[in-house]
Amino acid sequence: MSWRSLIQNTPGRIKRWLLVAGATFMLLWFVFFDSHSLVSRIRWHQERSRLESENALLKSEIDQLKTQLARPLTDDDVERIAREEYGMTRPGEVVYPVEEK
């Protein structure tokens, strides 16, 4: 018995049911299980959007840092950085640490 004779001898309702079942299976496969499924594409799109926004933030931060580098440091800036970041003091100066609440 060949496939052709099997298909020709099958009633119409069964053919339609098999066609619908096959189409449903393929649709479910492409939506959920395929390597490029709809679910994967949605995740990729969300990740791409997140990365693009992060990229924009980083570019603005880079631009801000470039403008800071272009501006020369004054003596007051150097003193402020030395005091705030490195805890340096002038000779004879006493620093009292204050905790913020």
d(CA 6, CA 15): 11
- SS3 (DSSP) at 1: coil
- Is residue 87 a contact partner of residue 80, using CB atoms and an 8 Å limit? no
The set of residues, in sequence order, having a beta carbon less than 8 Å from that of 58 and lying 6+ positions away, is none
pLDDT given at position 11: 76
Instruction: Report yes or no on whether pTM surpasses 0.85.
Output: no
| Domain parsing of the chain, residue ranges | 3-86
How far is residue 35 CA from its own chain's centroid? 19
Q: How confident is the model at residue 7 (pLDDT cuts 50, 70, 90)?
A: low
Per-residue pLDDT reduced to its tens digit, 44-90: 999 999 999 999 999 999 999 999 889 888 899 899 999 888 988 88
